[in-house]
Homo-oligomer: A and B are copies of this chain.
Amino acid sequence: MNAPLPYDPNRLAHCAGEIIVCTRELAARGWTPATSSNFSTRIDEHHVAITVSGRDKGRLTEADIMVVDLEGQPVATTARSSAETLLHTQLYKRDPGIGCVLHTHSQNQTVASRLYAGNGHLHLEGYELLKAFPGTHTHETELDIPVLPNSQDMHTLAAQVDALLDKGPLWGYLIDGHGLYAWGRDVAEARRHLEAFDFLLSCELELRKLR
């Protein structure tokens, strides 16, 4: 007889369903090229549902979603999640209000990260869509998206993210040559932040070509 699962399997099924729908839609836009990108939602205080490493994000099924604890260790599974799992779990661990983390590799995100890596951030202002972020009620807002140097050492990256979070509210960051992390209290909010970031990056890149 199997040991009982340390999480509610019905809650996992719900989380997996939400990840699958969201991920397929983002894959259809070309934001997850070559099996890249990873997606997670919170199951409960101690567990997170996350995509299994290396799967085609346009064809996800329940078998492509696994459970990790807040240290990023697999729970009741032999599947393996991405090395970047730590960048997801650090957020869930730090802020109980975070319910979803989305990491994608769109062309806009990758190109913007390369162009603004030297600055360490990309500055946004004058856009109505800045109101997509909580606590922003006007377009007369400024927002800096941090751009971190890429690294294969997740502890190095996680420490830099922690330092950014210490400074104040944050809804996402870029990694140079890599992609974007965005999050929110649930899938809908994380998705709204992700879409707003990508749209604003695309506008900045177009304006840079046109000015």
Task: Note all chain B residues with C-beta closer than 8 A to A30.
Answer: 29
A137 proximal to B (CB < 8 A): yes
The answer for the CA separation of A132 and B57 in the assembled complex, in Å, is 14
Across the interface, do B128 and A210 meet the contact criterion of CB distance under 8 Å?
A: no
**How many copies of this chain does the complex contain?**
4
A175 proximal to B (CB < 8 A): yes
Which one of B128, B152, B195 contacts A150 once the chains associate, using CB atoms below 8 Å? B128
Across the interface, do A176 and B126 meet the contact criterion of CB distance under 8 Å?
A: yes
The answer for the CA separation of A85 and B141 in the assembled complex, in Å, is 22
The answer for the CA separation of A150 and B127 in the assembled complex, in Å, is 9
Chain A residues numbered 78-102 whose CB sits less than 8 Å from any CB in chain B: none
Q: What size tier do the contact residues of chain A reach?
A: 35 or more
Across the interface, do B34 and A196 meet the contact criterion of CB distance under 8 Å?
A: yes
Task: Note all chain B residues with C-beta closer than 8 A to A211.
Answer: 115
Task: Note all chain B residues with C-beta closer than 8 A to A74.
Answer: none
Distance between A143 CB and nearest chain B CB, rounded to angstroms: 13
Chain A residues numbered 124-182 whose CB sits less than 8 Å from any CB in chain B: 126-129, 132, 137-140, 150, 152, 175-179
Which one of B56, B107, B199 contacts A33 once the chains associate, using CB atoms below 8 Å? B199
Across the interface, do B199 and A34 meet the contact criterion of CB distance under 8 Å?
A: yes
Across the interface, do A210 and B137 meet the contact criterion of CB distance under 8 Å?
A: no
Which one of B56, B179, B188, B207 contacts A114 once the chains associate, using CB atoms below 8 Å? B207
Find the B residue at minimum CB distance from A197. B34
Closest 8 pairs (CB-CB, A-B): A128-B178, A34-B196, A33-B199, A34-B132, A34-B195, A126-B177, A111-B206, A33-B195
In the assembled complex, 29 residue pairs joining A and B whose CB atoms fall closer than 8 Å, in A order, are: A25-B58, A33-B129, A33-B196, A33-B199, A34-B129, A34-B192, A34-B193, A34-B195, A56-B188, A105-B129, A107-B199, A107-B202, A110-B129, A110-B199, A111-B203, A111-B206, A111-B207, A111-B210, A114-B126, A114-B203, A115-B211, A126-B150, A127-B177, A128-B150, A128-B178, A138-B152, A139-B150, A140-B152, A208-B210
